[in-house]
Amino acid sequence: MKLILPETLREQILAQARVAHPGECCGLVIGRRDTGAAIALSLHPARNLSDQDDLFEIDPADQFAALRLARAAQREVIGCYHSHPNGKAQPSAADLAGAGEEGFFWLIAADAELTAFVYADRMFRSADLATSPS
């Protein structure tokens, strides 16, 4: 699975991760799916309701707002993003426990690195992350 992410959105995620440090930033990715690839078109930052620095919980009100915005623009929520401030840009056991939507992209920021995964068959698989000019 491939995700095309404009460079400006990549930079926004990394900037949000820096601001949220030592906690995790989080948000949703709005876009569209084409044959063989998904295209990220915008981000919807969300409040992290977790009281632990190494976990994230997207505020349901922010999630519903993102769903409404996506629907109004004839788009969909294709994934989420969050940071691992003191870890690696790899899914954690907590990420796997919180995943559940088949074909949903997960972007993980750690330091200046951003990686992409797709949840499929009850596991994370590496996704091809291609940045595009904004």
Q: Where are the domains of the chain?
A: 2-131
Q: What is the pLDDT of residue 134?
A: 74
Task: Work out the average pLDDT over 115-128.
Answer: 97
Number of Cβ atoms within 10 Å of the Cβ of 23: 18
- How far apart CA 51 and CA 67 sit, in angstroms, is 25
Mean pLDDT over each residue of the chain, to the nearest integer: 96
Q: Mention the CATH class of domain 2-131.
A: alpha beta
For the segment 78-111, what is each residue's pLDDT rounded down to a tens digit? 999 999 998 899 999 999 999 999 999 999 999 9
Indicate if the pLDDT at residue 35 is higher than 90. no
**CA 7 and chain centroid, separation:** 14
* Residue closest to 132 by CA, chosen among 16, 14, 18, 40: 40
Number of Cβ atoms within 10 Å of the Cβ of 97: 8
For the segment 44-72, what is each residue's pLDDT rounded down to a tens digit? 999 999 999 999 999 999 999 999 999 99
Task: Work out the average pLDDT over 9-17.
Answer: 98
